Amino acid sequence: MALLAGCAMLSQLFPSESPYRPDDISDAAVRLPGAESFIAGIALKDLIDEERAETAKMGGLGPDGGVRDPDGGGSSEDGGWDHVAAFIARCFQDPATYEVWVDLDRAARRWKVIVLPEAPCTVKIIGGGAEYEIDADTYEILHRERME
Partner 1 sequence: MVRGNTGPSYSDLDAAAVAACDWLWAHQSEAKRWEYCGVLYREEAGGGIRVGLPERGDRAWRCFPRDPPEATVFLGRYHNHRFTAEPSGDDKKRAQKEPSLGHYLCAPSGLVRRISAKEGTVNVR
Q: Which phi-psi region, left, alpha or beta, contains residue 8 (left: φ > 0; alpha: ψ -120 to 50)?
A: alpha
Question: Can you tell me the distance from the alpha carbon of 82 to that of 58, in angstroms, rounded to the nearest whole number?
Answer: 11
Question: Any residues with CB less than 8 A from the CB of 117 and at least 6 apart, and which?
Answer: 92, 97, 98, 125, 128, 129
Least spacing, CB of residue 3 vs partner 1, in Å: 43
Do 97 and 117 form a contact (C-beta atoms < 8 A)? yes
Closest Cα partner for 55 from 86, 82, 84? 86
Least spacing, CB of residue 110 vs partner 1, in Å: 18
Least spacing, CB of residue 30 vs partner 1, in Å: 22
42 versus 47: smaller Cβ distance to partner 1: 47
Least spacing, CB of residue 109 vs partner 1, in Å: 22
105 versus 145: smaller Cβ distance to partner 1: 145
Residues in contact with partner 1 by the rule CB under 8 A: 54, 76-77, 84-85, 88, 92, 114, 116-117, 124-129, 131, 146-148
22 versus 128: smaller Cβ distance to partner 1: 128
